[in-house]
Amino acid sequence: MTVTNEPFTGDRYERLKKSVDILASDPSMVGGEPPYNADGIRAFAKSVEQLRLLDGLTDYDANTVNLLVALDFMQGPERMAWRVYDMLTANPQTPHRDHDNEIAVVYTIVGILHMVIGAWLPPDPWRTLNRLAADTNEAYDVLKLESGNAGDHLKAAIDNVNDAIEALR
């Protein structure tokens, strides 16, 4: 795999596709298991473009989102959800990038996570939502010990998951 150090050109979606092409050309991605293989990550980038999920971000923030979601996608929705959790904590492990609009960055990552979960939601949404509720409640128990308002955001997510579970009953 040959990678040049030239800057990516084009709009935010073209830059996403170029970065995804580099990742997809890795031999481990070519032979990987769907949907987290070369074809899957290319389809992922195409879906982000079709849904225009990067619209509204500055180019700087779009570059950040492009990098994070492409790398996190390869590890699955759990990693993407962790990224949102991490970015909302008082001491995130995600490197600080002085975003133009940090809330817009997190919101966009959540929207992309929503797309991924919706695309590969198992046929049993009841079980999936109950598992998600348990995981979210567990994360809230940990997060409420942190300072800041990340716990409030997670509490709102818990309420939304519980509402979805009730709607299925």
pLDDT class of 43 with cuts at 50, 70, 90: very high
Q: Is the pLDDT of residue 1 over 60?
A: no
How many whole angstroms separate alpha carbon 53 and alpha carbon 68? 14
pTM over 0.75: no
- Looking at residue 148, the DSSP 8-state letter turns out to be S
The answer to whether the CB of 15 falls within 8 A of the CB of 64 is no
How many whole angstroms separate alpha carbon 105 and alpha carbon 132? 23
pLDDT tens, position by position, 95-117:
888 999 989 999 999 999 988 88
pLDDT tens, position by position, 122-151:
567 677 777 777 777 776 666 666 556 666
